[in-house]
Structure 1
Amino acid sequence: MPVNKYALLRYRIIDRKIGSKYNPYPNKEDLRQACEDELYGSDEGKISLSTIEKDLFAMRNESNLGYYAPIVFHKANKGYYYSDPDYSIQEMPLNDDDLEAISFAANTLSQFRGLDMFKSSEAAIDKILDRFNLNPKNNESEVTSHIQFETAQSYKGGAYLPVILKAIKSNKVIKFEYQKFSGGKKQQYQLHPYLLKEYRNRWYVIGFNPDKDSVVVFGLDRVAGSIELTDFDFSRQAGFNPALYFEHSIGITAVNDDPQRIHLRFSPLSGKYIESQPLHQSQKIIRNDEVALEVELFLCVTKELIMTILSYGTDVEVKAPESLRKQIGQSLKNTLKLY
């Protein structure tokens, strides 16, 4: 008997929750809430505990699925775990029902490409559809011998997204330990979470830190252990606008400085790439001929902007402002000292 498409999607969510090292031992309510959040958003009451019980039974026992998942209930921690810590249904080959569920989900999303809320995800949706259309029978070796897709190792910190999103929606304070890349001891933080942002395969949470009395950014890949959703409510700062917070920034750094007119001159070849894929939404072309492409951007000077400019090497020249031109020049001089 074919498996319900939504059941297959729930199995994947349940598998991810039970296998999570960040939030181990989820109970039935945790699994129910995770499935409801991911499949239906804030529309509550769509999934019952009895549905989760049937899903757990199916994942353990049903031969047509072939999972035979080693799901065990831990009495002391009052939650579920895999007796084999390396087990995951993600490692199993997809069957026809899985492929049909993926196709169903991807094609459903594709119907909403034009909506504002999906614009940032259109590329991801298109990639899923491209992959499925090129490989409808899941013959991976046949496809990869002819086509290579760009891949990322993982989306760092993704396991924390459900609890943070729940805190954002309900205006609840979260608590966690954080280890900076620069070293030092782990520190405990409380945060009023406002926004989640993905940048270069890493997830970040932006929110108000009452200890610093300011809006700050935390990389989720530097969170140590779990994130606690507290019972304490918070009120958002009236001046914070998620749509505008990174309006004048490239990357994840937002500064209080005023944005500046950034004038860049690219070689003709690199200019073609910049023209076809702008560096920022504020980009305006002010010259485009056989000699050079010159663009103007309205941005704050951040570390990510500097790294982006430096990545083009001799194919780019900063024309203005003079302060940024000197900063890039000094970075290049420091680089030369290494060789």
Structure 2
Amino acid sequence: MPHIKNALIRYRIIDKALGNTYNPYPSKLDLRHACEMELYGDTNGKHISDSTIEKDLFAMRQEMDAPIKYSKAHKGYYYDNPDFTINEKPLSEDDLTSIQFALSTLSQFKETEMFQNFGFALNKIIDRVNVDSDARKSDADIDQMIQFEKSTAAKGNEFLQPLLSAIQHQYIAYFMYESFVTQVKKQRKVTPLLLKEYNNRWYLICFDSVKEKVITYALDRISDLEIIEQVGEKPSDFKADLFFRHSIGITASAEARPEKIIFSAGNIAAKYINSQPFHESQKIVLDTLEHTKFELFALISEELIRELLSYGGDIIVQEPNSLKDELVKRIKQMKTNYNI
């Protein structure tokens, strides 16, 4: 069974490599290295041979109808149908068995410090696999009985591994970045410092050599990434574990200062807000029959403003005045938009 499990995992690693438009036409060596890195954390060739990759490619063609071709011009492999991916094929019993085996191993460690932040995600995966397995046994249409939250596929995830390596070695990274405001692409030269996920999207926190300060870039707007094996400049006062301590969302800055924020909410809304706090510093300072007053210490950010506005008239901000003024400004704009 371990042999079968590893083969199924290799198929998916190969599928990902063949579908990577940023590194097209991977060679047999490229595919071997990708599998070794994902499965064993190194590329020394002790675990996977070229013949293993050849057998995997043959099996994918035969068992999954994968349109894998070899390009003599580019000396690498590719999908004849660029839209093909094995991820669109239903999971087999062997796939589910492999996942259950991996999850049973991981679930034993989800309470440890290393995996505490991922306990909820692991539980969702375990629930989905168990439910799907039971549905297969009963021959039921599971989507008609239970629906899980779905997230859209995030672009830029293929940059996670090279950027993580750059952070570990403090190497310089070059990439093109497209602004949402101007829709113009410009080249950036940075020293990667930290990768952070927020709302199913990955961000790179880095020291920008041109702007000479720490900047956040969304991975889904990065293209033409190139890592240079040259040590870059890193701010001496940057601490990854402290950089977002006062942040709500992805907004953070070494120059910005957190403020005391006080707001009140109706008791129904307060229950939701108390169950899912805006920030770890949030606390209740007054609880009456009519409303609940909250206090927190954080940066005033776009993410916080949108959170507050999402509760509409159920929230009233008392402090600070700058936050109140910004909310009033946006509420007036909303009234204008609806001709009120």
Note whether the superposition's TM-score is higher than 0.5: yes
Where 2:77 maps in the other structure, the secondary structure is strand
Taking the aligned partners of 1:184 and 1:250, their CA distance within structure 2 comes to 26
Higher RCO (Cα < 8 Å, 6 or more apart):
1
Residues 194 and 206, structure 2, Cα contact 8 Å, conserved in 1 = yes
Correspondent of 2:110 among 113, 124, 127 = 113
1:30 aligned residue: 30
1:36-185 pair list within 5 angstroms? 36-41=36-41, 47-50=47-50, 51-61=52-62, 66-136=63-133, 139=136, 142-185=141-184
Taking the aligned partners of 2:44 and 2:110, their CA distance within structure 1 comes to 25
1:250 aligned residue: 248
Deviation at 1:57, TM superposition (A): 3.2
1:13 aligned residue: 13
Unpaired runs of 5+ residues, structure 2, are none
Structure 1 stretch 287-296 or stretch 94-103: which is displaced more? 287-296
Taking the aligned partners of 1:144 and 1:32, their CA distance within structure 2 comes to 37
Residues 29 and 49, structure 1, Cα contact 8 Å, conserved in 2 = no
* 2:316 corresponds to 1:317: yes
* Cα deviation 1:109-167 (Å, max 9, x = unaligned): 21221222322222211100011121215649622111111111112321221221222
* 2:211 corresponds to 1:234: no
Taking the aligned partners of 1:47 and 1:23, their CA distance within structure 2 comes to 24
Taking the aligned partners of 2:112 and 2:93, their CA distance within structure 1 comes to 30
Judging changes above 3 Å, is the alpha-carbon distance between structure 1 residues 46 and 244 closer, same or farther for their aligned structure 2 residues? farther
Where 1:87 maps in the other structure, the secondary structure is coil
Unpaired runs of 5+ residues, structure 1, are none
Judging changes above 3 Å, is the alpha-carbon distance between structure 1 residues 282 and 46 closer, same or farther for their aligned structure 2 residues? farther
One-letter amino acid of the counterpart of residue 34, structure 2: A
Where 1:285 maps in the other structure, the secondary structure is strand
* 2:334 corresponds to 1:335: yes
Deviation at 1:300, TM superposition (A): 0.8
One-letter amino acid of the counterpart of residue 198, structure 2: Y
Deviation at 1:2, TM superposition (A): 8.7
Residues 261 and 319, structure 2, Cα contact 8 Å, conserved in 1 = yes
Deviation at 1:207, TM superposition (A): 0.8
Taking the aligned partners of 2:6 and 2:234, their CA distance within structure 1 comes to 35
Q: TM-score with structure 2 length normalisation? A: 0.90
Taking the aligned partners of 1:104 and 1:253, their CA distance within structure 2 comes to 39
Taking the aligned partners of 2:90 and 2:181, their CA distance within structure 1 comes to 40
Deviation at 1:295, TM superposition (A): 1.6
Q: TM-score with structure 1 length normalisation? A: 0.91
Structure 1 stretch 67-76 or stretch 241-250: which is displaced more? 67-76
One-letter amino acid of the counterpart of residue 19, structure 1: G
Deviation at 1:60, TM superposition (A): 2.7
* Cα deviation 1:282-339 (Å, max 9, x = unaligned): 1112223432222211101111111111111111111111221121112111211111
Judging changes above 3 Å, is the alpha-carbon distance between structure 1 residues 95 and 266 closer, same or farther for their aligned structure 2 residues? same
Aligned residues: 334
Where 2:330 maps in the other structure, the secondary structure is helix
* Cα deviation 1:181-209 (Å, max 9, x = unaligned): 11243111122111111111211111111
Where 2:20 maps in the other structure, the secondary structure is coil
Taking the aligned partners of 1:73 and 1:243, their CA distance within structure 2 comes to 46
Residues 259 and 301, structure 1, Cα contact 8 Å, conserved in 2 = yes
One-letter amino acid of the counterpart of residue 120, structure 1: N
One-letter amino acid of the counterpart of residue 284, structure 1: K
* Cα deviation 1:217-236 (Å, max 9, x = unaligned): 11111123x31222222253
Taking the aligned partners of 1:235 and 1:141, their CA distance within structure 2 comes to 57
Question: Sequence identity, in percent?
Answer: 44
Judging changes above 3 Å, is the alpha-carbon distance between structure 1 residues 186 and 308 closer, same or farther for their aligned structure 2 residues? same
Residues 34 and 162, structure 1, Cα contact 8 Å, conserved in 2 = no
Where 2:64 maps in the other structure, the secondary structure is coil
Taking the aligned partners of 1:199 and 1:141, their CA distance within structure 2 comes to 35
